[in-house]
Amino acid sequence: MSCCNCYNDQDQQSPIDEKPRKRFRPIAMLLNFVLAYVILVGGGGTLINTGHPVAVEAGKMVQTITFVQPTIHWAENTNHRVVAHGLRVLSNGLPVGQLM
């Protein structure tokens, strides 16, 4: 008996031929969505802070697409003050182009 024929049956699969299974991971997908949202909101605010007319318009467009202001108003009206404050801080972006 040869050892090479051990995994040649149709019923058994070779461990070498097995591929890793990709699983649907909703938590990872949600975290990726939140990360992308935070980057977009913060980036939009930073673009607005540059003061360059094209960058300001691009930042306003990003913040319009991400619904930051309506989300802040919703969070304030539903007594989620921490969420509203966090979104407000994110939407302000980084202080670029401003003297301290």
Give residue 34's pLDDT: 94
DSSP string, 10-73: SSS--TTT--PPP---HHHHHHHHHHHHHHHHHHHHHHHHH--HHHHHHHHHHHHHTTHHHHHH
pTM of the shown model: 0.68
Give residue 21's pLDDT: 66
Q: Locate 9 and state its tokens.
A: 């049956």
Q: Predicted confidence band at 8 (pLDDT cuts at 50, 70, 90)?
A: low
Q: Considering all CA atoms of the chain, what is the largest pairwise distance in Å, rounded to the nearest integer?
A: 82
Per-residue DSSP letter, 80: -
6 pLDDT higher than 70: no
Rounded to whole angstroms, how far apart are CA atoms 93 and 66?
Answer: 14
- Residues near 60 by beta carbon (within 8 Å), at least 6 away in sequence: 44, 48
pLDDT tens digits, 51-98: 899 999 999 999 999 999 999 999 999 999 999 999 999 999 998 865
